[in-house]
Every structure is written in structure tokens, then in C-alpha cells.
């Protein structure tokens, strides 16, 4: 049995061996008997210059390779090490082709052994990690990684990662390994050999199952814990009303807790609202510590009154921060255990019965096999069964749609019901002191007759400035080309052997016949598939005709108004949509009728029962799609509310990228009637709720009034006057008086000088991609920033969090950000020294929701600019400013390059909404002096 692994990492001049790129550093680590035995590393002379970006990434420069051996010279030693070994690499499809090409050039035979990929292995062994990049895995698993992007360090950490994956899999229960091993034969690398070896080893030395795990119906999973109702009220004492009582409480919790008068003040306001049954809006500046300020009174309210409190946040990250950090801190302060639960929508949870049955399928589709393996490992860890814990591939997410919890549609007993994750979350919520959810879930439940949130009479909404947007999105509808094509392919024609085929097979088995003949159902499906292509083809042409010069930014939105449907050119779209709706209905009826026949008195096997559950869940999504198409063409005005409808897509991928959106223009009425009117007390809090000291705009958006809610402003404890230099350039042109290209050129020149003075550490916020791209390109092409890492949204690859991490890693870095960087980005300390706003953050007037809101306000006789555009821009401005100072020791430069902040009548609305800070109007030279003295 092979027990020798060679773990290889290489650095190269580029990404393609076939295009002539060569190896510049080679490292190999030998593992025998699951121990690291030796490592060999060598620079390699590639016979070609090292590109600048490779030199920047790896630190390997031409002069370091001048005296290095050619690959030909070290090839015999490498061949010797590879003998009788398994080749291991992190992304084996990169390293192995390079090695094979170099061996070919050296006139040597190719490597013909097994290969294993640690990217694939770590996805299975650690299915909940956020990223599978080598540096991120090293950090997550505490593997020392001294020099990322150098072959010696990368090879060593890959070897340690490989051993960590083996160790994790070897620790899994025998029943889990017995399911993983056969699935592993469908993987891309030869990990099946290793899974088989681990399984055989486990059979020889089977351990007792740990007490926290159980095996049910051949699947190992973590036992669920429901905290039983306390026998009588727990002792929490009375709420600490005075500052002295609060200080005593915090001091008793030990070190690490900072006394913040502003936080104590907010606690009292939240306490007052909850105990008196009132609504309150609290604007709490950065540094107040608002999480603990609302959690402490929430805990007293929940435990003392035995009435649970619901906390809603905007992001998944904040949900987990509350549960894993803030509530644990609160328990230390109170010295009372709190019953907490995270609540999400039903489709976030795994349906164990469907999953169990899907494991019996002969499925060799890569993404679903990988997802099955990930879920089997995850079940030994998860207590929630919540998909947000998992890092699934795009194809894995499609598989999840099949096995998500969608309720029960038959009266046949589900053997897994006692272990169902969604029912468990609901049961925990009923016993909870504090339940945490997100705005999407909260708003999604508002319209239901029976909501999972009915038990909660006290609600705290954090990041409340997003509440109206979340309500609009959740009350909205969408239909996209990919989703519709996927759903049609999931049903499939008879010969494609998908859901329709399986249903027909079942009908034949029980000698049943649908009223709609198989041939007729086939014709309906074919016609629907063609109609979807026709509809989205027509919509793609509409989008292309309306596109402007996007200058490389490919995302486009096109609003569809009611008057469009009266135009001749839109009649074909209307008729095609109506035909699609009719086909969706006919197919739904044909499938439902078959399912009803099967359920009428037939003794179905468990596998058949699970299939019927899957079919009913699928049909629920299918019927929702039909409803969404009705709203698209204005046949159902969404409960009498005015809607905005638009198309959204990427010009590079039409019609595949096209999505039809429909949302209510204004969600305040929904929130007023379904949330505020139904709950005893709702606490709304955020760092940005007021415009020029007034809550009027926020109240108008969420459907509240000063009569029904109290308002409180708690300023930030930070000394912005001493921590921030706010500068408006006096020698840049006013953006409203010059062409965009001229403004971009002047801005780029100005920022080049500033970035030299700040040594990078600068985030530049834009409101349009066009301007961002122009400024980025001019700065990059200047040649003055060779030593700087330039990261630009929409140009550089990666998510917002990935770009932020990259920015923090480099000493000299400049981050060019669009809308998503204006808030929620936390870069404390010296990592961010200078924040630049190129333009005031007014939303584009032709953006569909903005345009529809302005139309709505005009009809009401209001001025759209003063009633919506300006206050919305001020709130975004405050959010952007909030990125600069994150702790009381931070210091920074705040530059606003848009002269309208001083030249227009509305400019003071922006400056007066900030904390007290001195504003300087300076020339570039004066600004550079200020920066030098300040930083």
C-alpha cells in the first residue's frame, strides 16, 4: 500500500505552461507514514524575465535567478523524489501541468502516478470555512505560514494542511466514512484511494461514538440540545438603574469591559421603551457600543418578564458577532446563562429525509457529490442545520435547492421529523430569552397569517437604516433566465430522466394515468422552454438598445413603466409572458394531479415518499414563479401597492444574466401595519438615522411618526475634532462645471500627490464605475505608484471582504471602492489613514427605484430632491465618513473632492450631519503640509 506523498508547490512566470510560462521556484515536501520527512527547494532559472506583478507577489526578482540551476539540472533529483509516490498540491491542476511541461522540455517521461488536490480535500474536511485559499486555510487552521507566495513556505503549509485534512477525516464516525468512500470515486483528484485507506483503518480500530453524536438511520449527526423551560423564574436581579450600579455590574465581570457613559445612557432609553411598551428610534454614534447597550436591557426584559426579545440585524456577519461574541460578553457581565437562538427562513435548513434519500441515488455529477460529502462531514458538527454555515459551490447550491426544508406536503410520517432542524429552531425560539434573526427574515414573515415571530412582542432592529430597503426587497418578486431554465431542466423531458421521468415511472408502477397525457405534458414543457428563450431574447435586445456608454462597466438596469405595455414594440413581450404564465399553470396542474393520484391510498416506499415531498417543494417554487410573472406585467399590483419593475443584467452575458425585478415603491405602509402596529415595543437603532439632526426622513421611510415613537440621539464619544482633519480642496474644479474626463484627470493628479504623502493607506469612494475606472487607470499609468498595491472594485477580482483583507495586508495600498464600500467596512488603526470621497453620494436619478420613488413623491406634491435624494445622500455620506474612525485612538484625513459641499445651498445639510469637526479649505500644497504634520 502506498504511504508516500510528495507535496509540491511552484512559483512561475505566469499562469500557462502551454503558452511558454516557466517555473522560477520549485519545492517538494515528502510525507511518509503521515509524517513530514524531508523538503527540497530550489530557485530555477526560467531563461526569461520575471514579470513585475510576479515579482511583487512573490518577492522573486531576476537577479535572484541569474545563478540558479536550469530545471534540467534539478530534474533527476525531482524524478527520484516522485518515484512510487502520490503527487499532492494545492490546486493540482495548476502545479502538475507545469511540472509535466518542464519534464517534457527536459526530455524526461511524465509523472504517471496518483494526484490529490488539497483544495478539494479541505472543502470536504472543513466544509464551513469561508475561503480555501492557502493563506486563509493556514490562518483558519493555525498552520504557521511564514512567507506566502514562496514555494518553500507554500509547500510546507500545504503538507501540514494535507495532514490536517487526513486527521479530520480519520476522526469521523465509521458510518460517515462508509458513505464518503464510495462518493469519493466521483471526485476530480484521486482522493478515493485515501478515503478507502482511512475507512479500512477505521474498521480495524473502530472507536466508540462520542456522546455528543448519534447515528440515526445510518447517518451520524450531532445531538440537538433544547434548553428545558426553567423551573420558576431565574434570578437576574433588578435592572441597574444608576451609573454606579452599572459600573458595579461591569466591574464584577472582570477586566476587558470599558465603562462608557454613552452606552449606559442608551441602555436606559432601551430599557424605558421595552418596559413601557413604546417604540423608540436611537441614533448611536460610532464607539457608543450599541450592541451591549440594547442587549443588556433586552436580557432583563426577557428573563424577568419571561417574554422573549427578538433582535434583527442586517448582515450574517453581525448575526454571528452577536451570538458568538456580544451575548457571551453579556453572560459574563450578568453571570446568568441566556437561552439564545438564531432564527432563519425555512429554506435555510436541511430536510434530512430528502438528503437521506438523495444519498441512495447513483449520482456522479461532481458538484452534487462534493456537496453530499461536505454535508455528511458538516452533520457531525452542526447544531443548526443552517446552510449559511456551509461553503457550497455554485453547483452545490443547486443541489441544496433539492434538499432544503420546504415543509411537509404529504400526511405520510417523515422518520426524521423528531430531528428536523427547522422544527428544532422553532422549539428553541419558544424557550428563548433572545432570538437573533435578519431583516430579510423579519420582513419576509410580516405578510404571513401565522408567523414564527408571533411569539415576540419586543423587537430590536439594529442597522435600522436598512429596514425599509429590506422590506422592499422581501415584498418584491424576481424571475431570472437562469432560474427559469434550471427549473425547466429539473423537470426535464421524459428522455432526459429528470423529475418528470421519475414521476411517470412511478405512475406506471402503480398503473395510474394522468388526465394530461405524457406526450401532451412533453409538448407543454418543450413550448415553455422555447418561450422562455424568446422572452429573454426580446428583453436582452431591449436592454442593448437602451445601453449607454458603460466604459467597461457591464451591469445595466432598465426600468419598465406601465406605459411601456401600451407601446407596439412591447406587445410581443406582453403576449410571450402571458403564454409562459399559461404554460406554467398547465404544467403545474398536470404534475399536481399525478401527485394526488399517487398519494390516494398507495403504499409508497420511503424513497417514493421523499421524491413526492421533493416534487411538492419544487412545485411551490414553480407556482411562486408564475405569480412573479403576473406582477411583472402589472396584472397584480402587489396588494394594491404601487410597484417598480426593472430589468437587470450583465451586458457580457445576455440573456443568461437577465433578472426581472419587481418591488413596492414604498414599504413604510407595510412596516407600519405589520410590524409597529402589532408589537408592544420596537427599538430601532443605527449610527445613521438623522439628517441634520432630524429623524423626519427615516420616519417617513419606515412608516412611523413622532406621535407613535420616541427619538433619542446619542453622540459618539470619539473626539472627531482632535482625530480628523476634514479638507475640501480649493484648487480642484467644481464637478458641475467641467467635463467628466477633465475632472478625472485633475482628480487623479491630486490623488497621486496625496497618496505619496499618506504612503498609501487610502480608501477612495466613488459613486460611479465610469469615474472610478478613469481615475484608477490614470493613477496606474502614471508610473508613480510602482511600489503600491492598487485594488479597485469592478477591476480587481474578489469579494468586498477579500479586497479589504488584501488592502490591510500591504503597507502601501490604495483601495478604490463603489457603493458597497460606503458602509459595513471596518478597517481600524493605521491600516486606513486617509478617506477620500470623490463625489457626494447622490443616487443616479435613472436608477429604477430612485426614479420610481421620485415619481411617487411628485404625485404627492412633494419635491423629490429635498424629500428623498438629498436625505438619502446625507445618510450615505455619514456612513462613508464612519469608515475612517473606528476606535478612540484612530486618526485620519477626510477629503471631499466635490466642491458642491461648499458652493451649493444644500451643502450644509452634509456638513451639519457630521459630528463636530473643523473643516479646512486648502490648496494641494497646503493639504500636503497638513498631511505631513498630521500623520
From its phi and psi, is residue 277 left (phi > 0), alpha (psi between -120 and 50) or beta?
left
Cα(540)–Cα(565) distance, rounded to whole angstroms? 17
The C-alpha torsion from 16 through 17 and 23 to 29, rounded to 10°, is: 100
Binding site annotation covers 288?
Answer: yes
Grid cell of 541 as nine digits: 435586445
Cell of 129: 470555512
CA distance 168 to 164: 6
The answer to whether 682 is annotated as binding is no
**Does 289 belong to an annotated binding site?**
yes
**Binding residue per annotation — 358?**
no
Alpha-carbon span 88 to 541, nearest angstrom: 48
285 is in an annotated binding site: yes
Sheet holding 659-664, edge to edge: 477-480, 659-664, 643-650, 555-560
Classified as helix, coil or strand, 561 is coil
3-state secondary structure 392-413: CCHHHHHHHHHHECCCCCCCCC
**Is 290 among the annotated ligand-binding positions?**
yes
**Which residues lie closer than 8 Å to 846 by C-beta, 6 or more apart?**
559
Enter the C-alpha cell of residue 450.
401565522
Query: How many residues appear in the chain?
Result: 935
Q: Is 707 exposed, middle or buried (0-12, 13-18, 19+ CB in 10 A)?
A: exposed
759/747 Cα distance (integer angstroms)? 18
Distance between CA atoms of residues 583 and 580, nearest Å: 5
Distance of alpha carbon 698 from alpha carbon 763, whole angstroms:
28
CA 548 to CA 646: how far, in whole Å? Answer: 16
> 920-933 burial, b if ≥16 CB within 10 A, otherwise e?
eebebeebbebbee
Residues 166 and 198: beta-carbon distance below 8 Å: yes
**SS3 of residue 513 by DSSP:** coil
DSSP symbol at 684: E
Residue 291, marked binder: yes
Closest to 765 measured CA to CA, from 832, 695, 719: 832
From CA 720, how far away is CA 286, in angstroms rounded? Answer: 11
737 is in an annotated binding site: no
Omega cis (within 30) before 584: no
Q: Which residue has the cell 484625513?
A: 893
CA distance 523 to 509: 23
Question: What's the alpha-carbon Rg for the chain, to the nearest Å?
Answer: 30
Q: Which residues are annotated as a binding site for ATP?
A: 284-291
Q: Which residues are annotated as a binding site?
A: 284-291
Amino acid at each position: 500500500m502506498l504511504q508516500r506523498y510528495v507535496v509540491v508547490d511552484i512559483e512561475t512566470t505566469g499562469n500557462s505552461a502551454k503558452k511558454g510560462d516557466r517555473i522560477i521556484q520549485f519545492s517538494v515536501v515528502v510525507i511518509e507514514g503521515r509524517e513530514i520527512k524531508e523538503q527540497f527547494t530550489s530557485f530555477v532559472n526560467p531563461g526569461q524575465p520575471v514579470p513585475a506583478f510576479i515579482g511583487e507577489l512573490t518577492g522573486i526578482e531576476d537577479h535572484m535567478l541569474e545563478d540558479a540551476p536550469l530545471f534540467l539540472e534539478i530534474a533527476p533529483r525531482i524524478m527520484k523524489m516522485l518515484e512510487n509516490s502520490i503527487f499532492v498540491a494545492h490546486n493540482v491542476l495548476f502545479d502538475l501541468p507545469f511540472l509535466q511541461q518542464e519534464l517534457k522540455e527536459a526530455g524526461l517521461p511524465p509523472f504517471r502516478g496518483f494526484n490529490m488536490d488539497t483544495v478539494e480535500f479541505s472543502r470536504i474536511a472543513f466544509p464551513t470555512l469561508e475561503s480555501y485559499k492557502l493563506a486563509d486555510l493556514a490562518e483558519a487552521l493555525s498552520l504557521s505560514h511564514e512567507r506566502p507566495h514562496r514555494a518553500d513556505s507554500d509547500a510546507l503549509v500545504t503538507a501540514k494542511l494535507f495532514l490536517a485534512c487526513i486527521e479530520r477525516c480519520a476522526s469521523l464516525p465509521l458510518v460517515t466514512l462508509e458513505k464518503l468512500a464510495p462518493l469519493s470515486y466521483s471526485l476530480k483528484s484521486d482522493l478515493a484511494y485515501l478515503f478507502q485507506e482511512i475507512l479500512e483503518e477505521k474498521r480495524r480500530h473502530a472507536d466508540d461514538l462520542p456522546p455528543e453524536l448519534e447515528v440515526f438511520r445510518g447517518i451520524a449527526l450531532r445531538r440537538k440540545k433544547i434548553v428545558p423551560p426553567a423551573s420558576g423564574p431565574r434570578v437576574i436581579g433588578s435592572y441597574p438603574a444608576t451609573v454606579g450600579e452599572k459600573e458595579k455590574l461591569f466591574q464584577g465581570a472582570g477586566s476587558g469591559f470599558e465603562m462608557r457613559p454613552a452606552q449606559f445612557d442608551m441602555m436606559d432609553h432601551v430599557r424605558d421603551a421595552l418596559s413601557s411598551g413604546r417604540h423608540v428610534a436611537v441614533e448611536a454614534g460610532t464607539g457608543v457600543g450599541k450592541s451591549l447597550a440594547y442587549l443588556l436591557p433586552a436580557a432583563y426584559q426577557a428573563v424577568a418578564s419571561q417574554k422573549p426579545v427578538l433582535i434583527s440585524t442586517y448582515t450574517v456577519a453581525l448575526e454571528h458577532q452577536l451570538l458568538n461574541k456580544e451575548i457571551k460578553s453579556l453572560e459574563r457581565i450578568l453571570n446568568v446563562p441566556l437561552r439564545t437562538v438564531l432564527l432563519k427562513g425555512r429554506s435555510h435548513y436541511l430536510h434530512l429525509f430528502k438528503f437521506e434519500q438523495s444519498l441512495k441515488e447513483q449520482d456522479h455529477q461532481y458538484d452534487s457529490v462534493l456537496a453530499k460529502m461536505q454535508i455528511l462531514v458538516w452533520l457531525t458538527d452542526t447544531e443548526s442545520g443552517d446552510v449559511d454555515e456551509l461553503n457550497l459551490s455554485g453547483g452545490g447550491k443547486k443541489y441544496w435547492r433539492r434538499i432544503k426544508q420546504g415543509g411537509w406536503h404529504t400526511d405520510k410520517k417523515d422518520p426524521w421529523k423528531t430531528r428536523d432542524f427547522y422544527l428544532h429552531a422553532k422549539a428553541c425560539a419558544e424557550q428563548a430569552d433572545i432570538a437573533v434573526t435578519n431583516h430579510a427574515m423579519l420582513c419576509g414573515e410580516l405578510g404571513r397569517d401565522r408567523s414564527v415571530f408571533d411569539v415576540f412582542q419586543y423587537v430590536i432592529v439594529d442597522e435600522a437604516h436598512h429596514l425599509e430597503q429590506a422590506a422592499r426587497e422581501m415584498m418584491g418578486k424576481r424571475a431570472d433566465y437562469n432560474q427559469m431554465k434550471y427549473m425547466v431542466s429539473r423537470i426535464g423531458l421524459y428522455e432526459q430522466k429528470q423529475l418528470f421521468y421519475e414521476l411517470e415511472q412511478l405512475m406506471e408502477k402503480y398503473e395510474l394515468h394522468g388526465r394530461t397525457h405524457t406526450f401532451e405534458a412533453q409538448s407543454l414543457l418543450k413550448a415553455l422552454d422555447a418561450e422562455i428563450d424568446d422572452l429573454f431574447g426580446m428583453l436582452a435586445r431591449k436592454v442593448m438598445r437602451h445601453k449607454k456608454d458603460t466604459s467597461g462597466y457591464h451591469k445595466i438596469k432598465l426600468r419598465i413603466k406601465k406605459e411601456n405595455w401600451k407601446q407596439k414594440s412591447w406587445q410581443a413581450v406582453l403576449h410571450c409572458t402571458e403564454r409562459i404564465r399559461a404554460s406554467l399553470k398547465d404544467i403545474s396542474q398536470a404534475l399536481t394531479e399525478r401527485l394526488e393520484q399517487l398519494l390516494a391510498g398507495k403504499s409508497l416506499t420511503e424513497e417514493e415518499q421523499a421524491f413526492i415531498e421533493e416534487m411538492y417543494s419544487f412545485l411551490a417554487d414553480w407556482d411562486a414563479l408564475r405569480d412573479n410573472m403576473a406582477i411583472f406585467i402589472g396584472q397584480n399590483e402587489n396588494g394594491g401597492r404601487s410597484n417598480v419593475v426593472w430589468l437587470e443584467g450583465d451586458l457580457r452575458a445576455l440573456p443568461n444574466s437577465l433578472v426581472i425585478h419587481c418591488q413596492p415603491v414604498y414599504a413604510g405602509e407595510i412596516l407600519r401595519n405589520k410590524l409597529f402596529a402589532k408589537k408592544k415595543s420596537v427599538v430601532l437603532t443605527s449610527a445613521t438615522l438623522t439628517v441634520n439632526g432630524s429623524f423626519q426622513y427615516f420616519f417617513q421611510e419606515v412608516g412611523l411618526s413622532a406621535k407613535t415613537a420616541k427619538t433619542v440621539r446619542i453622540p459618539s464619544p470619539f473626539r472627531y475634532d482632535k482625530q480628523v482633519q476634514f479638507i475640501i480642496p480649493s484648487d480642484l474644479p467644481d464637478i458641475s462645471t467641467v467635463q467628466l474626463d477633465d475632472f478625472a484627470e485633475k482628480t487623479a493628479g491630486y490623488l497621486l500627490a496625496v497618496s505619496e504623502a499618506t504612503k498609501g493607506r487610502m480608501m477612495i469612494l466613488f459613486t460611479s464605475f465610469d469615474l472610478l475606472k478613469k481615475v484608477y487607470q490614470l493613477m496606474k499609468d502614471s508610473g508613480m505608484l510602482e511600489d503600491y498595491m492598487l485594488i479597485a472594485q469592478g477591476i480587481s477580482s474578489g469579494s468586498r471582504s477579500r479586497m479589504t483583507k488584501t488592502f490591510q495586508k500591504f503597507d502601501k495600498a490604495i483601495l478604490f471602492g463603489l457603493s458597497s464600500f460606503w458602509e459595513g467596512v471596518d478597517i481600524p488603526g493605521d491600516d486606513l489613514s486617509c478617506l477620500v470621497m470623490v463625489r457626494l453620494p447622490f443616487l443616479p436619478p435613472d436608477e429604477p427605484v430612485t426614479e420610481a420613488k421620485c415619481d411617487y413623491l411628485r404625485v404627492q406634491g412633494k419635491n423629490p430632491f429635498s424629500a428623498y435624494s438629498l436625505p438619502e445622500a446625507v445618510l450615505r455620506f455619514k456612513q462613508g465618513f464612519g469608515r475612517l474612525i473606528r476606535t478612540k485612538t484612530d486618526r485620519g484625513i477626510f477629503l471631499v473632492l466635490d466642491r458642491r459641499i461648499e458652493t451649493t445651498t444644500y451643502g450644509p445639510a452634509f456638513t451639519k450631519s457630521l459630528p463636530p469637526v473643523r473643516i479646512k479649505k486648502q490648496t494641494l500644497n497646503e493639504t500636503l503640509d497638513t498631511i505631513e504634520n498630521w500623520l
